[in-house]
Amino acid sequence: MSHYRVEPYTPRLVLGLESSCDETSVALLEDGRHCRVNLVSSQVALHEKYGGVVPEVACRAHMEVLNPLLEEAMERAGCRFSELDAVAVTHGPGLVGAVLLGVAAAKTLAGLLEIPLIGVNHLEGHLYSTFLEHPDLELPLVCLLVSGGHTQIVEMTTPGAYRVLGSTRDDAAGEAFDKVAKALGLGYPGGPRIDQAARRGDPSRLSLPRPMREVGYEFSFSGLKTAVLVHLQSTDRVSDDDLCASFQDAVVDVLVTKTLRAARTCGARTVAVAGGVAANSGLRRRMEEACQKAGIPLRSPSIGLCTDNAAMIARAGWELARLGLRSPLTLDARPNLPLTPRV
Amino acid sequence: MNTLVAGLDCTGETYSVALMRGADCLAESGGTSARAHLRLLFPALTECASRAGVRLADLDRVAVTAGPGSFTGLRLGIVTARTMAQVLGCRVVPVDTLEALAWNVPDSPRVVAALDARRGEIFAACFETRAGECLRLTEDRAFTPEELAGALESWGGGVLVGSAAARYGPVLSQVPGVRVLPPVFAQIRGSAVALAGRRADPVAALDLAPTYLRSAEVQLHGVQP
Ligand SMILES: [Zn+2]
């Protein structure tokens, strides 16, 4: 069991912990909206030479930085442990050995301080990242969660009432970016590099498939990735910049088309894009244009809050507290934790 | 010496925590599933505290096995101990896993603590135990079973304890003077960790680090830069 019900409560100061993939993060959130500190230690440089996240390398790095980061967060916020009112922690999905380190620290803090422990689904954290800068955004919200590990469209009608409209059947969008970048020898992480090259290229030079663009809310990017790899073998190759532009255009087209269709179908009052790929400039621009045309406000988090961070975990935890949810000290790390509604 | 010490171990297939006041064990708790210790390590500690009628806030120090052992388990124990020390402002002491294991065999001139490190390797070291003391005779080292058999022979035998005893016992017990203890003695106890940590020098919470003993490259086999 990961949660039990209690009387709804509103913690004033929530400590957030995030360690599910390749960023370690500690945040302090006051009154659900004022972010006193949000420290993120990224491991990108460590994984660069392997061309992807290596679990053992990630776990070692999390272990090394987690406690120093906690110390620094408390110091910078000028806060004592005794002032904390709740601890929110990512307990999945993610690398199990990494998730459990955040969970271990969170349990210890909550147990010793005798304050509520709140397990947060990492995807739920991304959903609420939007609220950090737009606390008054209107629901229902349709959010595109897009990163190296996940690609899904989620509807939130009221806090805690989530519905996953569609996920990816194979590669996550960010994964497709990484694989194409690797094939082009652009290095890791692929997203920013392709984004950069795409700005110099012409997206109309190469016509690439838009997998499942017109049907449903599910995604499939492996066919598109394969089409790019096949083109690389062909004799009439376009330039790398044009290839990046065409590839990015195809991915963005699918992401934007499906998100807007979901928003119209659900009667969304707000659209958001969260997750690491939300930093992609092509996606941001196209989503902005599409939302403007549809007359639905786009409220995406700023780039620092799109990538993995603990402020969003603290924000989600604060929301779960107000729904009367609390986790036992036996909370487990769940590598494949699905996003399920809380109400 | 009325200090209150917590001892934690989750470096292997079992986990154990204990609260000690001086040489007295107030409460000890644990289990045998490697999967469960991820969930139950900290709750076991709070359970011990309530059974013993003490507050974890009154802890003077936290002793934790810092390796060798399962990488995941090591990190779990270390993060838990570090966080305890940060919140409580108490001292933290790393304890060698093999030494904690050697405490399971009291009053023996030669205890060989040996962990099955998988991939045909054994982490082992040799100790002498006397009433309330455990003296190290050799440094921790990785051995192949053949190398350990040779070492045991050169040490003139000894009492073999730990997870490697179960796996390699039939071979190693052939060495003259070697006595192999059954698996029930292979569980590292939180009380032994606390006893070992009672005398050792504490470190700052953030300086507590694991001893992996095996190089990162071994674990990253197949993932070449
Ligand atoms: Zn994420």
The answer to whether residues B108 and B159 touch, using CB atoms and an 8 Å cutoff, is yes
The domain ranges of chain B are: 4-98+187-220, 105-185
For B25, the token pair is 């064990």
CB neighbour list of residue A237: distance below 8 Å, 6 or more residues apart: A231, A243
Q: So what's the ipTM on this one? A: 0.94
Q: Are B65 and B103 in contact (CB under 8 A)?
A: no
Between the CA of A222 and the centroid of ligand 1 the distance, in Å, is 20
Check residue A293 and give its pLDDT: 97
Domain at B4-98+187-220, CATH class: alpha beta
Q: Is A234 exposed, middle or buried (0-12, 13-18, 19+ CB in 10 A)?
A: exposed
HEC string of A64-92 equals: HHHHHHHHHHHHHHCCCHHHCCEEEEEEE
The pTM (predicted TM-score) of the whole model is: 0.94
* The pair of three-digit structure tokens given for residue A244, joined into one six-digit string: 């990046």
CB distance B86–A81 less than 8 Å?
yes
Is B118 in the A-facing interface, judged by CB distances under 8 Å?
no
Residue B83 in contact with partner chain A when CB distance is under 8 A: yes
For B59-113, how does the pLDDT look when each residue is reduced to its tens digit (9 = 90+)?
Answer: 999 999 999 998 999 999 999 999 999 999 999 999 999 999 999 999 999 999 9
Asked if the B105-185 domain carries CATH number 3.30.420.40, the reply is yes
Name all domains of chain A by residue range, CATH numbers in brackets: 4-129+305-326 (3.30.420.40), 139-298 (3.30.420.40)
Query: In the prediction, which pLDDT does B38 show?
Result: 79
Partners of residue A73 in chain B, C-beta under 8 Å = none
pLDDT for the residue B200: 87
| Positions in chain B whose pLDDT score sits under 50 | 216-218, 220-225
CA distance to A25, A53, A99, per residue, from A66 (Å): 8, 18, 11
* Ligand 1 centroid, distance to A173 Cα (angstroms): 12
User: CB distance A56–B83 less than 8 Å?
Assistant: no
- Whether a cis peptide bond, with omega within 30° of 0, leads into B68 is yes
Q: pLDDT by residue for chain A (343 residues), tens digit each? A: 899 999 999 999 999 999 999 999 999 999 999 999 999 998 888 888 787 888 988 999 999 999 999 999 999 999 999 999 999 999 999 999 999 999 999 999 999 999 999 999 999 999 999 999 999 999 999 999 999 889 999 999 999 999 999 999 999 999 999 999 999 999 888 899 999 999 999 999 999 999 889 889 999 999 999 999 999 999 889 999 999 999 999 999 999 999 999 999 999 999 999 999 999 999 999 999 999 999 999 999 999 999 999 999 999 999 999 999 999 999 999 999 999 999 9
